[in-house]
Amino acid sequence: MSQFDPLPPPLPPLPERSSRWRGRSGGFWLGAVLVAAGAYFLLANLGLLNWLNWHLVWPVVLIGLGLYLVIRRLR
């Protein structure tokens, strides 16, 4: 290209990412799960959850998650 060549045409604008992802809450729930897991492990390492028996709690967590998904789908 010489210095007198015209500029190439401008590129079309990129689509807005926010409109594409609007209404999806997957990122929120992933973040919430990571925060909850981190809080659990921190409290367990500090010895504040000695009373909590994880072998009894995890089925309740799975049942609660399943109920949430079913109820959300029915709405």
State the CB neighbour count (10 A cutoff) for residue 56. 8
Quickly count: other Cβ atoms within 10 Å of residue 5's Cβ: 7
From residue 24, how far is each of 28, 29, 31, 65, 67 by CA, in Å?
9, 10, 13, 18, 20
Highest mean pLDDT: which range of 1-5, 8-12, 30-34, 45-49 = 45-49
How high is the pLDDT of residue 55? Answer: 84
Indicate the average pLDDT of the chain. Answer: 80
Quick one: pLDDT at residue 1? Answer: 54
- In the chain, where are the structural domains located? 26-74
pTM comes to 0.48
| Rounded Cα–Cα distance for residues 68 and 29 (Å) | 12
CA–CA gap between residue 64 and residue 29 (Å, rounded)? 14
Q: Is the pLDDT of residue 21 over 70?
A: no
